[in-house]
Amino acid sequence: MGHGHRGFTLLELLVVLAIIAIASAGVGFSMRDSTQNQLEREALRLSAFLESARARSQLSGVPVRWRATAQGFLFDGLPALASGEAQLPTNWLDADTSARVEVPTTGTQAGLPVDVVLGPDPIIAPQTITLTSRSQPDKSLRMATDGVRPFAVQVQP
């Protein structure tokens, strides 16, 4: 009777280990930080709300201001809605999110809290909002408008 294989050869084991290592590396690189993903979702959501408030301000001719609060954010000056229209939310999807409006370093508003002014003029002042994770302050995301285009996430170098 001949001798049969009783296990794997060293070469077969090395090939399997190499495949597992390559697959693990690929999965690791494809997974992104969930905190950064959450900030991106919050920024896209907030951008849509800001543009909605901006459009309402232009239609009504009444200035609308956005400001961050300890629990979320507020839209001041939004005109009353017609029946069936939903109010804009005032909270973050993730309670770990916080926001601040970047203030000018010079001028009459230096050092003072600043609201984001959304209208009623079609062209507004350039404005920037920074979203940050409270639990991981090193994770942040900036969104800005030049005053003409909608708020958009800025790519940080």
Q: State the pTM of this model.
A: 0.72
Q: In the predicted model, is pLDDT for residue 1 greater than 70?
A: no
Domain 34-80+87-153 homologous superfamily, CATH? minor pseudopilin epsh domain (3.55.40.10)
| pLDDT given for residue 17 in this prediction | 86
Rounded-to-5 percentages of helix, strand, coil across the chain: 30, 20, 50
Burial 57-68 (b: 16+ CB within 10 A, else e): bbeeeeebbbeb
Q: In the predicted model, is pLDDT for residue 108 greater than 70?
A: no
Q: In the predicted model, is pLDDT for residue 31 greater than 70?
A: no
Residue 41 tokens read as 């979702």
Q: What is the pLDDT of residues 37-89, one digit of tens each?
A: 899 999 999 999 999 899 888 888 889 999 999 889 999 988 766 666 667 88
Q: For the chain, which residues make up each domain, given as ranges?
A: 34-80+87-153
